[in-house]
């Protein structure tokens, strides 16, 4: 069975967050959407649950980080090309996001990022497929 990833993020305004990520081209699963949460589809195996802060708090006894003030994580997604990296970041900025860092160009790897409306950090990167060496499945599973 393939592993699926569900990233859970607290948001202040669910409707504004849905509008922001819709402008970046993402869609949402209505089956897992209500006034407290929505399921943003990144890929067939990756989803981001955007949860209004009071609902998010119900899953933890810890204080919830204010991502506009501290970094709790950096979510990195791959892109098919350098142009696709720039396209996503441009859409994010046009939708109200910001770019906290400069582009990173290492020749074989290119990336840029943005902060969403709640301050969560998103990196988008492209890597030249010829720069990635195949790893045996057994070696990959040991790490």
Is there a domain that residue 74 lies in?
A: yes
Is there a domain that residue 79 lies in?
A: yes
Is there a domain that residue 72 lies in?
A: yes
Q: What is the tens place of the pLDDT at every residue in 24-38?
A: 999 999 999 999 999
Distance (Å, whole) CA 142 – CA 13: 41
Distance (Å, whole) CA 67 – CA 123: 15
Distance (Å, whole) CA 71 – CA 121: 8
Give the pLDDT confidence score for residue 136 in this predicted structure.
62
Distance (Å, whole) CA 10 – CA 111: 25
Pair of tokens at residue 38: 């929505």
Question: Region 34-52: what's the mean pLDDT?
Answer: 97
Q: What is the CATH number of the domain that holds 37?
A: 3.10.180.10
Q: Are 37 and 55 in contact (CB under 8 A)?
A: yes
Is there a domain that residue 68 lies in?
A: yes
Angle at 82 between CA 45 and CA 23, to 5 degrees: 60
Is there a domain that residue 140 lies in?
A: no
Residue 46 belongs to what domain range?
5-132
Question: Region 98-105: what's the mean pLDDT?
Answer: 93
For the chain, the first-to-last Cα distance in angstroms comes to 19
Residue 105 pLDDT > 70, yes or no? yes
- Dihedral sign computed on CA atoms, order 73, 99, 77, 45: positive
Distance (Å, whole) CA 111 – CA 91: 15
Is there a domain that residue 142 lies in?
A: no
Say what the pTM is. Answer: 0.85
Is there a domain that residue 143 lies in?
A: no
The structural domain count of the chain equals: 1
């Amino acid at each position: 069975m393939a592993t699926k990833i569900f990233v859970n993020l607290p948001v202040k305004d669910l409707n504004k967050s849905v509008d922001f990520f819709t402008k970046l081209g993402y869609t949402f699963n209505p089956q897992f959407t209500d006034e407290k949460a929505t399921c943003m589809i990144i890929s067939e195996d990756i989803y981001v649950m955007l949860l209004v802060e009071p609902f998010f708090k119900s899953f933890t006894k810890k204080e919830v980080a204010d991502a506009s003030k501290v970094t709790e994580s950096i979510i990195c997604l791959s892109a098919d090309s350098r142009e696709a990296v720039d396209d996503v970041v441009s859409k994010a900025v046009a939708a109200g996001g910001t770019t906290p860092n400069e582009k990173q160009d290492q020749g074989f790897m290119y990336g840029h990022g943005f902060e969403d409306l709640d301050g969560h950090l998103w990196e988008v990167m492209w890597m030249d497929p010829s720069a990635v060496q195949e790893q045996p499945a057994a070696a990959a599973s040991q790490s």
